[in-house]
Amino acid sequence: MNLTPSASSVVEGPSAPVTVPRHVAIIMDGNGRWAAKRSLPRVAGHRAGAEAVRRTMQAAVDNGVEVLTLYAFSSENWRRSEDEVSDLKGLMRFYLERELGTLQKEKVRLKLIGEPAAFGNELYDRLQKAVAETASNDRLTLVIALNYGSQAELAAAARALAQGARDGTVDPDTIDIGAIENLLHTRDLPPLDLLIRTSGEVRLSNFLLWQAAYAELHFVDTLWPDFDEAAFAAALAEFSRRQRRFGGR
């Protein structure tokens, strides 16, 4: 991956051409508040959020997006209650089994970033099996960030370069942007074009900090379980209206 402008596709709409970002990432926020507003347990919000994932994945496929990266479980989410973490893991198992057929039908390739092995051998093996079974699909790459933290990702890259310099395999004078990018979890993905966050919060929460350097940011008040095809289309339309300068005039 690099931070140079990506070749976003152009789709002819009914009134004006719409520039479609190659790589869209979403911070899926608001499941708990959605449930609280309805006097439901938090797990009900996570279930509804999983349905929003399904809708958004289909919208990405239908709109010609190449990569959709979803912040599913951050490295900080382990601070949540044991019951909530257990519920989240159970939902991952359930939706993984239910949606595998959809991934295959829609030719969606599953990719994981972060440290998903922390979820235990049984769930990790299921995740790896789904990754392997969808590896040849080429219509959309669905990237799920599990036990992911951008600061930890960057620290790991720095450690690897420092180790290489100590071993004599890396010349410190040659360390540049590309050297760091080649050690990131997203190194085989196109540059991030559009980052969306739901629920009205306006921060990145340790998600794709390096990758978002020149991404367009789009914050919406919609709680994640209510995010739908129309909301995704509105985000793409907003992206298409922006002029991306990448530091230029």
189 is a domain residue: no
Give the residue numbers of the binding site. 29-34, 42, 46, 74-76, 78, 80, 197, 203-205, 216
At 107-129, the pLDDT tens digits run 999 999 999 999 999 999 999 99
Stated pTM of the model: 0.90
pLDDT tens for each residue of the chain, 249 residues long: 555 555 566 555 455 556 899 999 999 999 999 999 999 999 999 999 999 999 999 999 999 999 999 999 898 888 888 888 888 888 888 888 889 999 999 999 999 999 999 999 999 999 999 999 999 999 999 999 999 999 999 999 999 999 999 999 999 999 999 999 999 999 999 999 999 999 999 999 999 999 999 999 999 999 999 999 999 999 999 999 998 776 655
42 is a domain residue: yes
DSSP the chain: --SSPP--EEEE-SSSEEEEPSEEEEE---HHHHHHHTT--HHHHHHHHHHHHHHHHHHHHHHT-SEEEEEEEETTGGGS-HHHHHHHHHHHHHHHHHHHHHHHHTTEEEEEEE-GGGG-HHHHHHHHHHHHHTTT--SEEEEEEEEE-HHHHHHHHHHHHHHHHHHTSS-GGG--HHHHHTTSTTTTSPPP-EEEE-TT--S-TTSSTTGGGG-EEEE--S-GGG--HHHHHHHHHHHHHS---TT--
Domain count, the chain: 1
Catalytic residue set = 29, 77
Domain hosting residue 44, numbered range: 19-148+194-241
Give the residue numbers of the binding site for Mg(2+). 29, 216
188 is a domain residue: no
111 is a domain residue: yes
CATH number at 133 reads 3.40.1180.10
213 is a domain residue: yes
